[in-house]
Chain A
Amino acid sequence: MIEGGPIQTGTTEWLRGNGMMSDVVMSSRARAARNLAGFPFPPAASSADRSQIMEICRRCIESLGYPSGSRIRWFDLRNSEPIERRLLVERQLMSRQHARGRYSNGEGGPDSPRGVAVIEPDERVSILVNEEDHLRIQVIRSGLDLASCLDEINNFDDGIEEIVDYAFHPQFGYLTACPTNVGTGLRLSVMVHLPALKITGELEKVRNASSDMGLAVRGLYGEGSQAAGEFYQISNQITLGRSDEMLLREIESEVIPSIVRYEQHARAQLMTENRMLLEDKVCRAMGILQNARLLKPDEALEHLGMVRLGVLCKVIPDVTLATVHDLLLMIQPGHLQRVVGIDLSQSERRVARAKLVRDRLNAK
Chain B
Amino acid sequence: MLCECQQRQATIHEVLIQHGKKVERHLCEQCAAKLGVSTDPHMPISQLISNYISGKNLSIPTVGEKDQPRPSRSKPGAIPPCPSCSMTYSKFKDTGLLGCPSCYSTFQKRLSPLIARAHEGGEQHIGKVPRRALESLSKTEGGSRLESLLGGESEREQRLTEVRKRLNHAVEHEDYEQAAMLRDEMTRLASLPSAQVEIRSTTQSSTIKESEHSS
- Residues in A lying within 8 Å of B, measured CB to CB: 35-41, 43-44, 46, 48-49, 52, 56, 59-60, 63, 103-105, 132, 154, 157-158, 161-175, 177-180, 182-184, 207-208, 211, 214, 216, 223, 237-246, 250, 254, 258
Also in contact, A52 and B213, with CB within 8 A (given A163-B207, A173-B127, A179-B49) = yes
Q: Is the pair B196, A243 in contact by a Cβ cutoff of 8 Å?
A: yes
Which residues 69-121 of B sit at the A interface, judged by CB distance below 8 A? 84-85, 87, 95-101, 104-105, 108, 111-112, 114-116, 118-121
User: Looking at the complex, which one of B45, B119, B128, B208 makes contact with A241 (CB distance below 8 Å)?
Assistant: B119
Also in contact, A245 and B97, with CB within 8 A (given A39-B210, A237-B45) = no
Shortest distance from the beta carbon of B170 to any chain A beta carbon, whole Å: 11
A-side contacts of B142, CB under 8 Å: 170
A-side contacts of B119, CB under 8 Å: 180, 183, 238-241
Shortest distance from the beta carbon of B134 to any chain A beta carbon, whole Å: 9
**Whose C-beta in chain A lies nearest to the C-beta of B141?**
A170
Complex formed: what's the CA distance from A216 to B45 in Å? 9
Q: Is the pair B130, A168 in contact by a Cβ cutoff of 8 Å?
A: yes
Q: Is the pair B128, A132 in contact by a Cβ cutoff of 8 Å?
A: no
Q: Beyond A52-B213, A258-B177: 6 further Cβ-contacts under 8 Å? A: A36-B210, A38-B101, A46-B215, A59-B208, A161-B132, A163-B205
B-side contacts of A239, CB under 8 Å: 119, 122
Shortest distance from the beta carbon of B50 to any chain A beta carbon, whole Å: 9
Q: Is the pair B205, A241 in contact by a Cβ cutoff of 8 Å?
A: no
Which residues 152-204 of B sit at the A interface, judged by CB distance below 8 A? 177, 181, 185, 196, 200, 204
Also in contact, A103 and B130, with CB within 8 A (given A172-B115, A175-B104) = no
User: Range of interface residues on chain B?
Assistant: 35 or more
Shortest distance from the beta carbon of A240 to any chain B beta carbon, whole Å: 4
Shortest distance from the beta carbon of B193 to any chain A beta carbon, whole Å: 13
Is B124 close to A, CB under 8 A? Answer: yes
Shortest distance from the beta carbon of B177 to any chain A beta carbon, whole Å: 8
Also in contact, A177 and B98, with CB within 8 A (given A172-B125, A243-B196) = yes
Complex formed: what's the CA distance from A166 to B128 in Å? 12
Main secondary structure of the interface of B (DSSP, over half): loop
Complex formed: what's the CA distance from A349 to B96 in Å? 38
Q: Is the pair B149, A170 in contact by a Cβ cutoff of 8 Å?
A: yes
Shortest distance from the beta carbon of B49 to any chain A beta carbon, whole Å: 6
Shortest distance from the beta carbon of B202 to any chain A beta carbon, whole Å: 10
Complex formed: what's the CA distance from A204 to B179 in Å? 22
**Whose C-beta in chain B lies nearest to the C-beta of A243?**
B127
Q: Is the pair A105, B97 in contact by a Cβ cutoff of 8 Å?
A: yes
A-side contacts of B84, CB under 8 Å: 40
Also in contact, A38 and B210, with CB within 8 A (given A179-B115, A182-B115, A183-B122) = yes
Q: Is the pair B118, A167 in contact by a Cβ cutoff of 8 Å?
A: no
User: Looking at the complex, which one of A169, A182, A237, A238 makes contact with B105 (CB distance below 8 Å)?
Assistant: A169
Q: Is the pair B124, A132 in contact by a Cβ cutoff of 8 Å?
A: no
Top 5 nearest A-B pairs (CB, nearest first) are A241-B122, A173-B125, A38-B210, A243-B127, A167-B101
Shortest distance from the beta carbon of A51 to any chain B beta carbon, whole Å: 11
A-side contacts of B133, CB under 8 Å: 165-166, 168
Complex formed: what's the CA distance from A351 to B15 in Å? 53
Q: Is the pair A132, B122 in contact by a Cβ cutoff of 8 Å?
A: no
Complex formed: what's the CA distance from A213 to B142 in Å? 32
Complex formed: what's the CA distance from A35 to B101 in Å? 8
B-side contacts of A244, CB under 8 Å: 127-128
Complex formed: what's the CA distance from A154 to B129 in Å? 11
Shortest distance from the beta carbon of A90 to any chain B beta carbon, whole Å: 24
Shortest distance from the beta carbon of B200 to any chain A beta carbon, whole Å: 8
